[in-house]
Each structure stands twice: as C-alpha cells, then as structure tokens.
A and B are shown apart, each in its own frame.
Chain A
Amino acid sequence: MDCRRAIDLLPEYAVGALSDDERERVHQHLRGRYRGDGCSICQQELDELRAAAGLLAESVTPILPRPELKRALLERIARQPHSSRNSAPSLPDASFVAKQSWLKYLPYIAATLCAAAVGTWAARPAERQRSNEDAEAHFSDRASVDELRRRITAAEQAFGATQIHLAKLEADVTGDGLRAAIFYDGLAGEVHVLVSNVAPPSRGQQLWLWLFDSQGARMTQGRLEYFGQGHAAGIMDLSATSGAMPEIVSKLIITDEPQGNPAEPVGPVVGQARISRNS
C-alpha cells in the first residue's frame, strides 16, 4: 500500500472504522515489514487524527468505578515481584493500540506446538492414530523435549506472561486424532489455542473455534489461522474476574464457517474435544 492510499484510509483507521483486511494493510504500511521501515509521514498524520478523535472520549462524563477496583489493582501490584518489572523487555509502542499480528509469535508458536504435542498428549484409539514417524522419533528424544520446554519458559518470561496456564485436551472419540493446547494469559485476558491434526477449511471458508463451559454455555470464540499440515492457531479474548485459568472451560469445537464473524456455529464440525487439566 502506498502513502496516497494509506492517507486516504487514515481517518477511518484512527476511529477504528476499517475492515480487518484494510486495517492490517494500513498497519503494515505504518510499521513496515520490519520495525524502523514504516512510514513516518503517515504515522504523524495518524497521531494527529487520533488526538482529534480523542476529543470524543474526552467529552464523555467521567464515572467513578467501585473502590474495590483500585484496591484489587494495588494488591495485584503488591504481589508482583519487584525484579520482574525491570526484567521486562522493550515492548511495542502501546500508542498503537490495535492488536498486533500474532504472526510475529510464530517462532514461539512453532516451539509451543512441539511441546504441546508432548505435554498434552491425549489417549486415542490406536486404529485412528495418524502415522508420524518423524514426530515420534523427535519426541522420544528426552533432551529435545527438555530443550523445547526451556525455550517456551524463556518465551513466557520474555513476554511477561506470568499467568499462562496449560490445559490438556483429550481427543473426542468422533474426532480424527485432534490434538490441542490452550494457554490462558490472565494479564491480557486472552486464550491462545494451538491445534494439530485438524482438517483445513473448505475453499473460501475459515476455521472457527468455540469454547464451552461445563454447562454448555459458550465462553469465547474466534478464528483459527490454518497454516498447513493440520496445524492451526488462534487468539481470542476470554475475560475472567480472577487471574487464574477459568476452571469451568470444558469443551471445544471447531467448525468450518463462511468468512466474517459468525455469531453462532453454523458450519460443519470438523473437530471437537473435551478439556481436562494437566496432572
């Protein structure tokens, strides 16, 4: 995208009125493929537009939240280890507050997928187990597994994800050897889901994941990015009043949906599983 096109879209970008695709293209133009390669002229224009749009927020009458909110925050700060603040690496400029593309996490996702396959292995009927001699050979190497786990721990520390929890999934008997891992980031209120042995989406469709609690109520949903060989991943919001992984997450299903944001699962189910906890 060139500057002429980007500048034309900046007002809508500033107020969040662009579609996902348009927003991503403008974002790439502003940031460039690598940091420091972006467009400073458009960024400056965007800063001015955002400041102007900020008047809309300033016009809102303030309302004080309950005092408990502040107390909870101060308690959370008090619980934080002092050293963890100084050890946090330089993080992306939060003035660009749109969610960063998760593709930059790909190296860590790749490492996590490998560890997830080991750490979250579910019992499957032998007759449906897909042959994967390379993976079996690799994961039988204890040293390699330990190295992958060390790298995941280092990644979690680097990103300050001190409240990530790993949930183990079991493959459903009607599934096709689906394997999945859920990471809950209590700080960001997000669920990171990694799946393997999932069918690709149909042409023009997308994979969509739905999480349910033990009562069958839907907790969150979001798109899974399919990146070949049965692997897919996605990030979705999951709010919780406590910092711990919601204990009531019970089941997931993956459906093949048309493009857009489905309000309900309408496409065919391509995978499902019950969720259990690591022992």
Chain B
Amino acid sequence: MTHGVPTSRLQERDPLANEPVSDAQLMEALKFGDKLAFSQLYDRYAGTVYGVCLRVLHHQVEAEAVVSDVFWELWRKPEGFNRLKGSCNSYLLTLARSRAIDRLRASATRVQKTQCAMQEAAGEVDRIQESHNPCEEVLADERRQAVREAVGRLEREQREALLLAYFGGLTHREISQQLEMPLGTVKTHIRRGLQSLKAELKSLGGHDGL
C-alpha cells in the first residue's frame, strides 16, 4: 500500500491471491498502471510473442527488440486492446507480427529471410520449447496442438501462400513469383485458406488465458 492506494488492483479484486486471473482482469488492471498485471501478462505471452518474432525475423536481437516494443506498447496504451475484437493473445500476436514485418521489410537482408520463410513454409521447423509455468502450459499446449492440426489441414498451396505472406512479409506479387503461379491463383489460395481458418476458429473457439 502506498498512501492508502493498493499496490495492485489484482490483489484488491482477488482476495484469494492464488486464484488465477483472466486476461480480461489483467488488462483492466493494466489500465490503472498495475505493474503486477503487466508482469503476469508478460509471463503469459512473452514466449508466444517472441516465437512469432523469431519466426519472422530469424534474428535474436531484432526479435527481442520487437518483443520489447510490443509489451511497451501494451503498457503505454492498454486501451488499444478491444476485447470485442478478439483475445488478448491474438491482439499481442497481431501487434508482434506487424512490428516484426515492418522491421523485416526495412532490413537489407530481406532476400535471405524470404528464403528462410520459403523453407519453413515447405516443412514445419521445430523450435526449442521452454515452459515457464507447467500448469498453464498444459492447457496452452493442447490449444496449440489443435491449432497446428487446423493449419495442417489446409491445402498445401493455401498454407504456403499464407505463411509466405504472414511470416515472410511478401506481397501477393512476390508470392506469385516465388511459387511460380499466377497472381490470381495466389489470391484464391489466400482467400480460401483464410476462409478455412475462419471455420476452424469457430470450432476451436476463442482463447483467453484462464
């Protein structure tokens, strides 16, 4: 307590300090500058954010810079998250991916990174997984596995086009050149691939931490 003000609104709202707190509650507390809420959100999502940044940038230092940018943005503008539009997880990942793509496009080694993206689109590249909280990770692992299976069910051409755009930062014309297929075909693959993912998302449901 400082001058009669609770240090954390999470403690104020949750007398049972060991009860898990939902993302919505953490985001609400964050709007009041709750550092504990920020810390918990970071612990919950820094791994996925960093994983996406590494997937795009293939560079540890640059990926770390984007992670810092994303969570600083979260701290500075918590009102940027609209729970009506999606989960906290999807908000952070969208922000991370966008910032990473911007950095990728500004990079002089973009050709090299495009080649990496091509290789990853062709085959799933496994990365080292580290668990920060085994209890929360179990649920997250199940969800991630279901999501991977959903992405795996996409037709190969749709998946390749989507991965090149989403993680490689390529435009549809560049994808057309890389995959040596007409531009209209690339557009169709992206459109149909996303429609398939929309249907998968309905069956998976939204994902909110706890």
Contact = CB atoms under 8 A, between A and B. Distances in A.
Contact of A95 (B94, B191, B197, B206): B94
B126 A61 contact: yes
A15 B194 contact: yes
A255 B110 CA distance: 21
Nearest to B69: A189
Contacts of B13: none
B39 interface: yes
B interface: dominant SS: helix
Interface in A64-102: 64-66, 69-70, 72-74, 76-78, 82, 85, 88, 90-91, 93-95, 97-99
A122 B4 CA distance: 54
B155 interface: no
A222 B204 CA distance: 41
B52 A95 contact: no
Nearest to B97: A57
Contact of B106 (A52, A78, A220): A220
Given A62-B50, A63-B47, A15 B162 contact: yes
Nearest to A19: B171
B151 A55 contact: yes
B40 to A, nearest CB: 11
Given A56-B166, A58-B89, A63-B47, A237 B103 contact: yes
Contacts of A222: 106
Interface string B148-192: 101100000000001101110111110100000000001100110
A54 B147 CA distance: 10
Contacts of A50: 86, 90, 94
Q: Chain A interface residue count: which class?
A: 35 or more
Nearest to B128: A63
B143 A69 contact: no
Given A57-B94, A94-B73, A15 B190 contact: yes
A72 B65 CA distance: 11
A95 B129 contact: no
Given A56-B166, A63-B127, 10 more contacts: A17-B175, A52-B194, A56-B167, A57-B97, A58-B207, A59-B147, A74-B35, A77-B75, A95-B91, A239-B62
Interface of B: 33, 35, 38-39, 42-43, 46-48, 50-52, 54-55, 61-65, 67-69, 71-73, 75-77, 79-82, 85-86, 89-91, 93-99, 101-103, 105-106, 108, 126-130, 132, 140, 143-144, 147-148, 150-151, 162-163, 165-167, 169-173, 175, 186-187, 190-191, 194-195, 197-198, 200-201, 204, 206-207
Q: Which 4 A-B pairs have the closest CB atoms?
A: A94-B80, A62-B47, A52-B197, A57-B93
